[in-house]
Structure 1
Amino acid sequence: MTLDTLFKDDRKLTYLNAEGADRPLKSPIAADVLDRARAYRLGRFRAALDRMDCAALLLYDPCNIRYAFDCSNMQVWTLHNPMRYALILAGGPAIMFEFKGCLQQSAGLPGIDDLRIAKTWMFMGSGNKVDMAANDWADEIADLVREYGGGNRRIACDRLDGFGVAALAARGLDYVEGSQLTEVARSIKSADEIELMRWTIRVCEAGMARIYEHSVPGVTEQELWAHLHFENARSGGDWLETKLLTCGPRTNPWYQECSERVCQLGEMISFDTDLIGPYGYCADLSRSWTCGYTAMTEVQHRLYDTALEQIHHNLDLLKPGRSFAEFNAMSWQIPEAHVPYRYSLAAHGVGMADEWPVIPLHPDFGPGAMDGVLEPGMVICIESLMAEEGSESIKLETQVLITESGYERLDSFPFG
């Protein structure tokens, strides 16, 4: 199916609502699928603790807390206000320290063995009493590690301000950078996780269909972007990580946020969803089409075909056991005219957000590029951004599961 037929027959309904009515999408996910995904995810963190010989894992990143416990209280706010945290003890309980007054948000979740009120020590909440508050917090953490650590004093932390690191060190705990632990653990998805992710993608594609339906002359970039927010929010999703939807000359250079600019007939509309949807999973998809559904100009069509060539070439390289370096060496080589306008990534992992690994585009793949191999259970986004001097940008991206024999695309919204 192509975009020009998407809204000219009843297949439109498969993107807006399977029942044929424009209503919020209702998740078909069974409770046992969610319970198995929760148990698997917490088990991944516990197994990683054992491999890294750490007594505990301290989590402040809301995405990691959601991964471990599936509790989602005030996630965007706590991305910049460290007011709630979790502690997983390798030889003991998994404890959620919830923001005061919000214990009900985490009550009853199966992975949480103990639920406590968080002791916060950020300056906004403690002011000139930060020292006192941090000491109270560190005392509790250190006591728990001593009780359950069996003499192991290594504590992995995903995000912790210097004040907190110093307070734990003063109590004899050895700080271990925890992002490697969490990122690698999260990179391999279970079948149940993939089912949850498929539903987020379904919701995202309904939002993309709504954008397409309203891509008519006179609409602003912000109005179009609001349709994705609307579909995600009313169907139980969380937030959008970026505001990457632009039209016409604002598509180049890329990374301009949506604005009040009015879209004109025939201009290219390009976007990147970066959507955190139901169950906390990310749908990271990009598409481009013309305002008013006009036929593409010669330049638009040529750039679009070039972007599709890159996507399909790099998709065909995905197989388990292939190293990131091998992928880079075999990857589609962007023509010189497009290099100054390139997207810096060829591929990246995705789960509850954009995740490890990241494979740079070949001009950017240098000595600092990370090592690693593709493994079954990874979910990878393949990217393309195509532009040239004076042109608009074409942005395409697809989300795929690495399987035992190759890959499987998880999104189905047509490229065109």
Structure 2
Amino acid sequence: MSTSPTGSAGEHQPDERQARTERLRHVRDALASVEADAILVQNAKDIRYLTGCSGHDCLLLLTGSDAVLISDPRYDEQLNPWRGGETEVVIGTRHRLPEAVAQACRERAVSSLGLQAEYMTLLGHQQLKAALDGVRLVETTGLIAPFRMRKDVLEVARIERGVQIQQAALEAAFSELTRGMTEREFCARIEYEMKIRGAEKASFDPIVATGANSSRIHHETSDTPIGEGTLLIDWGAVVEGYSSDMTRTFAVGDMPERVREIYAIVLEAQLAAIEACRPGRTCAEIDAVARDLITEAGYGKQFGHGLGHGLGMDTHEGPYFNNLQTDVVLEAGMVMTVEPGIYLPGLGGVRIEDDVVITESGCRVLGDWPKDMEAMRRDVPGRSMGVVGERL
């Protein structure tokens, strides 16, 4: 479970309870658009967003006046902080929670129930339909996601804290890096350093890609030894349920000349895209700023992904910087990644990624890790035989 629903934020920030009350109000208002008396929230991230509860196997029944957390006896004690406030708690039987949902609906005279279709399995739908005899089931999509796109100051502060943690953790991990250490070993060190600094966990399995491995956009960190050349690291930290996400491309000793050349192009594209981020611009327009620069440099086909994505309780959430989102407009409070890249199979790749929050007049970068080529150069010592012997 996450922090108590009564937790409050620091000075000049809204109270946590206030923020959640406002979120619940927004979703309740949206129920009218789907013609449902209530909605059953199944997605764990949405439940945490609305209530602060991060327990497994929980459901949230949200009506016009009630918010009911439904779980099983394994979580009875952990749910105590949610009793007696804005939420009620119902403990049902494990594997038979649809019956508890049906009982809660009967007690509240619910005749039509919205379901999160994007998270509902066919079996789950069948079980609910059998238990909720006489209740009309309404399939909904994207009812809560639009509200999660715009972050309040509490949410931005958590993402920014994650950025601070991941930066400090990587710097500490570099102090332990030796040539010959494998990608997997260095990845484990990064995750350890993030956790001891307060991260719940890594936002995702970090990518540590040495040499030619860095040309694989979603490289799976392996047992490849880290040596001279390119070292791409894509990593992030979760703080109170919110993810950060950054990428840096380093040079261990000397980087191949052509990789140095594309580094300069990617950095120019990223800085230009960040400068263009402001309310009123479409996501497709921002993507085009970086993509056009990379294309003009002759590497358009080697930039094989969108420029970035929304960031919050999910590492990848809407909106998205790509050429398809021509009607999605940036708004103040959105937190986005900006991460252009160029990838040359067999040689290596470069990606540079920062998290930005859209402000009333532009955007603010949440991290402060330098990006100039000289700052990316790392002198990494060789691994002594004694250390190798200890590892084996």
- The answer as to whether partners of 2:162 and 2:236 remain within 8 angstroms in 1 is no
Amino acid paired to 2:79: S
Whole-angstrom CA distance in 2 between matches of 1:148 and 1:46 = 18
Structure 1 residue aligned with 2:175? 213
Q: 2:264 aligns with which of 286, 305, 325?
A: 305
Q: TM-score, normalised by structure 1?
A: 0.77
Whole-angstrom CA distance in 2 between matches of 1:149 and 1:384 = 52
Amino acid paired to 1:188: R
Whole-angstrom CA distance in 2 between matches of 1:114 and 1:331 = 49
Q: Which runs of 5+ in 1 are unaligned?
A: 1-29, 79-83, 122-132
Give the 4+ runs in structure 1 shifted more than 6 A: none
Amino acid paired to 1:344: H
Q: 1:383 aligns with which of 330, 336, 339?
A: 339
* 1:114 equivalent in alignment to 2:93: no
Whole-angstrom CA distance in 2 between matches of 1:235 and 1:408 = 24
* 1:187–1:203 CA distance, 2 compared to 1 (3 A): same
Report how many residues are paired: 353
- The answer as to whether partners of 1:90 and 1:149 remain within 8 angstroms in 2 is no
Give the 5 Å matches for 1:134-153. 137-148=97-108, 151-153=111-113
Give the 5 Å matches for 1:207-356. 207-240=169-202, 241-265=204-228, 267-275=229-237, 277-291=238-252, 294-333=253-292, 334-335=294-295, 337-353=298-314, 354-356=316-318
**2:337 aligned counterpart, secondary structure:** strand
Whole-angstrom CA distance in 2 between matches of 1:413 and 1:100 = 46
- The answer as to whether partners of 1:38 and 1:67 remain within 8 angstroms in 2 is no
How far the C-alpha of 1:398 sits from its partner, in A, is 0.4
Q: 1:40 aligns with which of 1, 10, 19?
A: 19
Amino acid paired to 2:51: F
- The answer as to whether partners of 1:379 and 1:402 remain within 8 angstroms in 2 is yes
- The answer as to whether partners of 1:46 and 1:90 remain within 8 angstroms in 2 is no
How far the C-alpha of 1:371 sits from its partner, in A, is 3.1
How far the C-alpha of 1:282 sits from its partner, in A, is 0.4
Structure 2 residue aligned with 1:165? 125
Structure 2 residue aligned with 1:130? none
* 1:104–1:344 CA distance, 2 compared to 1 (3 A): same
* 1:156–1:72 CA distance, 2 compared to 1 (3 A): closer
Amino acid paired to 1:159: Y
Q: 2:348 aligns with which of 388, 392, 408?
A: 392
How far the C-alpha of 1:68 sits from its partner, in A, is 2.0
Deviates more, 1:400-409 or 1:380-389: 380-389
* 1:256–1:38 CA distance, 2 compared to 1 (3 A): farther
Amino acid paired to 1:246: A
Give the 5 Å matches for 1:71-82. 71-73=53-55
Whole-angstrom CA distance in 2 between matches of 1:341 and 1:119 = 53
* 1:86 equivalent in alignment to 2:59: yes
* 1:63 equivalent in alignment to 2:45: yes
Whole-angstrom CA distance in 2 between matches of 1:312 and 1:36 = 35
* 1:405 equivalent in alignment to 2:368: no
Whole-angstrom CA distance in 2 between matches of 1:193 and 1:159 = 24
How far the C-alpha of 1:303 sits from its partner, in A, is 1.5
Deviates more, 1:44-53 or 1:146-155: 146-155
Amino acid paired to 2:91: I
Structure 2 residue aligned with 1:13? none
Whole-angstrom CA distance in 2 between matches of 1:309 and 1:191 = 30
* 1:201 equivalent in alignment to 2:163: yes
How far the C-alpha of 1:102 sits from its partner, in A, is 2.4
Instruction: Calculate percent identity across the aligned residue pairs.
Output: 23
* 1:50 equivalent in alignment to 2:23: no
**1:181 aligned counterpart, secondary structure:** coil
* 1:295–1:187 CA distance, 2 compared to 1 (3 A): same
* 1:357 equivalent in alignment to 2:319: yes
Q: Which runs of 5+ in 2 are unaligned?
A: 1-6, 373-392
**1:260 aligned counterpart, secondary structure:** coil
